[in-house]
Amino acid sequence: MNYLPGAFDTPLWYIVMHLKGASGILTQKRYCDVLARRLNRDQANSLISVDDYLLLPDAMYLMVQEEALKLDLWWPAFRDQLLEELKELYMAELIAGGTAAPVVNLVWEPVTYELITGPEAFEHRANEMLFLPVRKGLAPDPEYYPYNSVNNKAGIDLQ
């Protein structure tokens, strides 16, 4: 790929978050909607922009570019608020399903992030995100996996 000069001057981050405590919820529509709403709101407010994403049942992969906020300011608030919204929705679902006094212990663990500094790193991570569902047996081809930037079933605005 040919990149414009200065394409990586604005910090671009590769973030991986694994969700523990509620197996498989990240690829369920109601939970994707919570994530998309939060990311799209932050993008509408020019806090960050999402270049690429992948949602696996228990993990989220994002390529996020800094805009008005640096990662260390945006990230903790986003991560913690998203987790609280997911917990509330999951708890309500358990109660509606008849679970008496449910205990919900959702945590992001582990969480990693890496600064993408050039085209090689970008291509490596973008390809990793594209083909991970195939390697995990979730789709025969990346084009058939709904929860990635290619198909965007989650409805996340992509820059």
For the segment 4-10, the average pLDDT, to the nearest whole number, is: 65
* CA–CA dist 1, 108 (Å, integer): 33
45 HSE (CA, 13 A, CB side)? 8
Angle at the Cα of 127 from the Cα atoms of 125 and 132, rounded to 5 degrees:
95
Percent of the residues in the chain that have a pLDDT greater than 90, as a whole number: 72
pLDDT in tens, 35-94: 999 999 999 999 999 999 999 999 999 999 999 999 999 999 999 999 999 999 998 888
Mean of the per-residue pLDDT values of the chain: 90
Amino acid at position 105, single letter: N
Asked whether residue 3 carries a pLDDT value surpassing 60, the answer given is no
Q: What is the pLDDT of residue 6?
A: 57
Q: What is the pLDDT of residue 1?
A: 47
Q: What is the pLDDT of residue 97?
A: 84
Picking from 78, 88, 70, the residue whose alpha carbon sits closest to that of residue 31 is 88
CATH 3.30.70.1290 fits 12-96+106-144, yes or no: yes
* CA–CA dist 29, 159 (Å, integer): 22
For the segment 103-131, the average pLDDT, to the nearest whole number, is: 92
- Going from N- to C-terminal start, the domains of the chain cover 12-96+106-144
Kindly report the backbone phi and psi dihedral angles of residue 63, in degrees, each rounded to the nearest multiple of 5, phi listed first. Answer: -115, 110
